[in-house]
Amino acid sequence: MDYILETRSLSKHYGHFKALDGMDMHVPKGAIYGLVGKNGAGKTTLIRLICGLQEPSAGSFTLYGTENRDKAIVKARRRMGAVVETPSIYLDMTAEDNLKMQYRVLGLPSFEGIGELLQLVGLENTGRKKARHFSLGMKQRLGIAVALAGDPDFLVLDEPVNGLDPQGIIEIRELILKLNRERQISVLISSHILDELSRLATHYGFVDSGRMVKEISAEELDAVCRKCVRLVVSDVKPLARVLDSMGIEYNILSPTQADVFANVNLSGLVNALTKESCELIAAQERDESLESYYVNLVGGARHD
């Protein structure tokens, strides 16, 4: 697989505190990679290292195949845009003037493309309105526009929906999906708002205490978290016989419980179980969420 970013035993220590502790990570090209972890797990530290805002204490990473110790990493970083912690915008400037300033910083030859960028992020009609009067969602979208000024193909967003209202969250989500699908921009998103992340991500990295606990694709996660019906019966042995005869996949949890991975006709199942002298006591639909998966994963992880 072609990876846009790889980290190898990446570490960052502040005195005795290990913000990152041997992080191994793989972001595929074209992915929307969700970096999942609670506050303090090391997400922002990782992003700051990748962006060159800090240097690693140990380990290494590659960006577009370029090692972080290589002088060419500066050139590789020009292909990356980032919004780290808070949007880097000038509050006393308009959206257009903010982009003009960023174009100057990047040494771009003209302001061509600014109108298109403003339209892309939904700020084309803000006119002479200063950024300080923007809503939080508008500021976040302007920050993303600034990050896109250099026409990057890798976008790094640190908690992009944190503090936004529902409408603002939807706008950022739609923008990220548009950038990924229409412009083929790979995206790394750190977040602890897992329900929203599950609507975006194609891949996940679950981080805890500065370590990568698990990397998994959205397809693999869907298979793990797939819907099922949990049945409580008087005895699972006759239940298993009935389900086998129906060709239905199941997983026995206890002498009285089983998860069934199919749309079950309960009346037909009850009739079949009655013939086996088995009683159906309860049936409940279950669908493990990304949040519960993460909690179970971190809860079961060892920390040496």
Comparing CA positions, the residue from 53, 82, 207, 211 lying closest to residue 152 is 82
pTM exceeds 0.95 for this model: no
Q: What is the pLDDT of residues 184-227, one digit of tens each?
A: 999 999 988 888 888 999 999 999 999 999 999 999 888 777 77
Average pLDDT of the chain is: 91
Q: Band of the pLDDT at 59, cuts 50, 70, 90?
A: very high
- pLDDT of 288 above 70: no
- pLDDT of 229 above 50: yes
Task: Look at residue 304 in the predicted model and tell me its pLDDT.
Answer: 37
Contact 122, 137 (CB under 8 A): no
